[in-house]
């Protein structure tokens, strides 16, 4: 989901069938760019050597339209055996009753050390359906040369207060301290979680938007302070214009992005090669990194899949420690367990992600959250506050819109 490495599908078709020589054909759907072709080949070879009775057949799926395709597969009699899904999509599929329940396998899979931002959205109604696959999250990508010129030491930016002070020092002499668009709501969500709040909470059998809570209001106030230390637009997000292009084209000291964005910055401005660094988004205290939205994927098994035992074996291997370490290094991902963070120590961007991932979160775990994102009143709220409207009034309005979307979505 986060990389741009192409893959070649090893097979087509989603149904289960017997392979030649009495082997079990295990049909697997993985998403475009989740793994490289080299890693895919290495894993298949290693897995089939250990389990010669299984013939792994991987079909690469496109993210566009995947929701409808997975929903149809779960309702059919010809579903694949294993499917990769976005971590926040699991509840949507589990609600239908179409997924295999792995609650009894959590301990066997090392679930006590799973990243919370992958494990929690992989559960629904108290049962575990999604098995954490890989994660990625936002960090601070910064210009080493601009920091050095301003006398700012990135290693000392360990709290929000120090971050604000450093950014204020950087925001002078034609340099933007930070480029932070006004509608980067994933960043705001992290600040909300830092303050002990959430975007919505479950209450009385339903869900209620909570952007008007004291915690969420404190988070928006901090976002406003940080955003003012640059020239980010109040009425657009990080994709309009692409913030990597903005950083490449001007004197921007920092952006908040996944480390892969640094590659895009250098592509647009080769002169910045070797001049970009990373550090975790700071938290309120030096001992705890800032909360982040954990993006990534879980692996699920359709309840109607023909080869349940083989599917579990595949998942157990791919999400096990040995292959997780290899995947993290190959793709600059965060492994699925907090105990494996050291596996990416040699990759500065991934190492910064791994620190933040320990305090990772996901959006409210309801199948109806997609209805909120469709219209996204959070973005409208942020722009309203940044353009001078009353935060409490606008937060209450946005909270009502979130509640309405969660109550009324199908």
- Mark the ranges of the chain whose per-residue pLDDT is less than 50: 1-17, 409-410
Residues 324 and 393 in one domain: no
H/E stretch holding 279: strand 276-279
Residues 272 and 335 in one domain: no
What local confidence, expressed as pLDDT, does residue 18 receive? 58
What local confidence, expressed as pLDDT, does residue 203 receive? 87
Whether 262 maps to a domain, the answer reads yes
Q: Which of 339, 361, 383 is the endpoint of a domain?
A: 361
Residues 262 and 299 in one domain: no
Residues 87 and 36 in one domain: yes
Residues 218 and 259 in one domain: yes
169 token code pair = 């020092």
Residues 39 and 94 in one domain: yes
Residues 78 and 215 in one domain: no
Can you list the alpha helix ranges (DSSP code H) found in 171-320? 185-194, 214-227, 243-249, 260-268, 308-318
Whether 4 maps to a domain, the answer reads no
Whether 11 maps to a domain, the answer reads no
Residues 154 and 281 in one domain: yes
Whether 3 maps to a domain, the answer reads no
Task: Tell me the C-alpha distance between 39 and 29, whole Å.
Answer: 15
CB of 203 within 8 A of CB of 258? no
Residues 145 and 286 in one domain: yes
What local confidence, expressed as pLDDT, does residue 21 receive? 66
Q: How many helices (H) and strands (E) does the chain have?
A: 16, 15
What local confidence, expressed as pLDDT, does residue 195 receive? 98
Whether 238 maps to a domain, the answer reads yes
Whether 5 maps to a domain, the answer reads no
In Å, how far from its chain's centre is CA 368? 18
Residues 248 and 394 in one domain: yes
**Total of domains in the chain:** 2
Residues 310 and 289 in one domain: no
Angle between helices 37-50 and 308-318 (to 10 degrees): 120
119 token code pair = 């494990």
**What CATH number did the domain enclosing 380 receive?**
3.40.190.10
pTM of the model: 0.88
Which of 51, 53, 47, 14 is CA-nearest to residue 30? 14
Which of 361, 381, 365, 391 is CA-nearest to residue 207? 365
Whether 64 maps to a domain, the answer reads yes
Can you list the alpha helix ranges (DSSP code H) found in 95-242? 116-119, 144-150, 160-170, 185-194, 214-227
Count CA atoms within 13 Å of residue 353 on its CB side: 34
Which of 231, 200, 195, 228 is CA-nearest to residue 214? 195
Task: Tell me the C-alpha distance between 300 and 295, whole Å.
Answer: 16
Question: Would you list the DSSP string of 300-343?
Answer: E-BTT-S-HHHHHHHHHHHTSHHHHHHHHHHHTPBPSBGGGGGG
Residues 58 and 163 in one domain: no
Whether 185 maps to a domain, the answer reads yes
Domain, as residue range, for 273: 139-293+366-408
């Amino acid at each position: 989901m986060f990389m741009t490495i192409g893959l070649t599908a090893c097979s087509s078709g989603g149904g289960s069938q017997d392979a030649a020589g009495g082997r079990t054909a295990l049909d697997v759907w993985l998403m475009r760019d989740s793994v490289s072709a080299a890693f895919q080949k290495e894993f298949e070879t290693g897995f089939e050597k250990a389990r010669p009775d299984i013939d792994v057949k991987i079909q690469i799926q496109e993210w566009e339209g995947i929701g409808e395709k997975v929903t149809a597969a779960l309702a059919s009699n010809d579903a694949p055996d294993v499917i990769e899904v976005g971590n926040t999509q699991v509840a949507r599929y589990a609600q239908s009753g179409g997924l295999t329940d792995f609650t009894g396998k959590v301990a066997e899979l090392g679930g006590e050390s799973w990243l919370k931002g992958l494990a929690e959205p992989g559960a629904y109604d108290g049962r575990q359906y999604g098995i954490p696959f890989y994660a990625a999250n936002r960090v601070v990508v910064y210009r080493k040369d601009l920091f050095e010129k301003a006398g700012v030491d990135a290693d000392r930016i360990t709290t929000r207060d120090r971050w604000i002070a450093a950014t204020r020092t950087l925001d002078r002499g034609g340099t933007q301290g930070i480029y932070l668009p006004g509608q980067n709501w994933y960043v705001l969500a992290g600040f909300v979680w830092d303050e002990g709040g959430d975007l919505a909470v479950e209450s009385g059998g339903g869900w209620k938007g909570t952007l008007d809570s004291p915690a969420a209001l404190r988070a928006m106030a901090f976002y406003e302070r940080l955003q003012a230390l640059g020239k980010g637009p109040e009425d657009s997000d990080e994709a309009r214009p692409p913030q990597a292009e903005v950083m490449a084209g001007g004197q921007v000291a920092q952006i908040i992005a996944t480390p892969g964005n640094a590659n895009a910055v250098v592509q647009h401005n080769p002169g910045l090669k070797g001049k970009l660094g990373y550090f975790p988004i700071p938290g309120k205290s030096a001992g705890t990194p800032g909360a982040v939205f954990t993006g990534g994927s879980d692996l699920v098994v359709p309840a109607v899949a023909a080869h349940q035992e083989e599917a579990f074996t595949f998942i157990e291997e791919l999400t096990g420690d040995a292959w997780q370490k290899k995947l993290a290094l190959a793709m600059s991902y965060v492994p699925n367990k907090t105990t494996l963070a050291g596996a990416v120590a040699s990759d500065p961007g991934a190492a910064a992600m791994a620190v933040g991932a320990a305090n990772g979160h996901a959006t409210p775990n309801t199948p109806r959250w997609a209805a909120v994102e469709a219209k996204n009143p959070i973005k409208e709220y942020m722009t309203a506050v940044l353009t001078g409207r009353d935060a409490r009034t606008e937060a209450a309005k946005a909270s009502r819109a979130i509640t309405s979307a969660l109550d009324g979505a199908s």
